[in-house]
Structures are given as C-alpha cells and as structure tokens.
Amino acid sequence: MINYGIHNEQSDLRVHVCPQARSIYVYPTASGIAAIDPNIHQKVKGYQDGIDYPTAEGFLVPPMGIAQCILLQVRPSVWDTLSFSTADTTTVKGVKAVRLVVGMLKAGLFPLPGLPEENIDRLIQINGTDITVEIMQRIVRIQVKCDYPGGEKRFGGTGRLFLQIAEINPLGRH
C-alpha cells in the first residue's frame, strides 16, 4: 500500500457522503487529520469488491469527534434520485457522491467557511447590514468521499467515518 489519504491530499474541506445514514459530514481537512489518535481510534483495512486482499487502510473516527464537523441532511427524494447501492462500484459511488455535493453547492445548501463580523455601527445596521462575511479569498478545494456505511448510529450508520491513510488501486478505479 502507498501512503495516500487525508494527511497528504491537497484539500481544504472534506465531505463524507454517507448513503446508509442518509447524512453528509463536512469538516476542514486539517481538523480530520488532527482528530486521528492511533491510541483511541481503531485502524482498519478496507476492501474493494472482487479483490481478496486489503486495498485501503484508515482510522474510524466518530464524526462529532472531528472539530468543526457539520452534519448536513437533504430531502429523501435527493437520495432516492441518486439511488446509491452497495452493489455500485467504488467509481459509481464516488461519482454519485460528487454529483450530490455539486448539486448542494449550486443550490446554496453547502457550508463554505467564512469570517463573519457583526456590524456594531448603528447607522450601518439601520441601512440594512447586520453582518458582513469574508469568504476565503481563494479557491476552496473540496475532497468528496463516499463513506457508504459511515455516519452517526442514530441515522443508521456505523457511528464513525473512515479516514483513509493508505491505499492500493489494483483495478485502476478512480
């Protein structure tokens, strides 16, 4: 396996789309890296259909054990339209997860980090501006993962997210 995962990807935000729990978790990538504690979190191997040996390795971390992790949920009809299936290939699951996040971005349903500042100037407030927000003055890089069984137990997930640290790709799927 090669050293590949959350700790060396070039993203600002991570999104775990969890179809089984019908939940989406968003957090700063740096928060995910900082959350991993090998003394607390179980290190597990991941597998691809059709391969009888491990193809990934990572840690199982509770979503709310990651600083700044936000839970998002969308209407059931969105999940129904995308029709995620455990029988989907890893590629198809990934494409569906990205499609979901792109749709959320287009609809304004995705949180982007910003620096809000409450206006304390009474005149500015009277003129109709209570809060100003500085959105990152650069491109925000988002990594999307289909974490099929992941998510909180209260929604039917495993109670954890899989934070990958190594992989091999014998089938060449992306």
Each residue's pLDDT tens digit, 96-149: 999 999 999 999 899 887 666 777 776 666 667 777 766 656 678 899 999 999
* DSSP-derived secondary structure for 119-174: ---HHHHHTT-SEEEEE-SSPPPEEEEE-TT-S-GGGTS-S-EEEEEEE--TT---
pLDDT at 134: 67
Q: What is the pLDDT of residues 23-43, one digit of tens each?
A: 999 999 999 999 999 999 999
- What is the longest distance spanned by two Cα atoms in the chain? 68
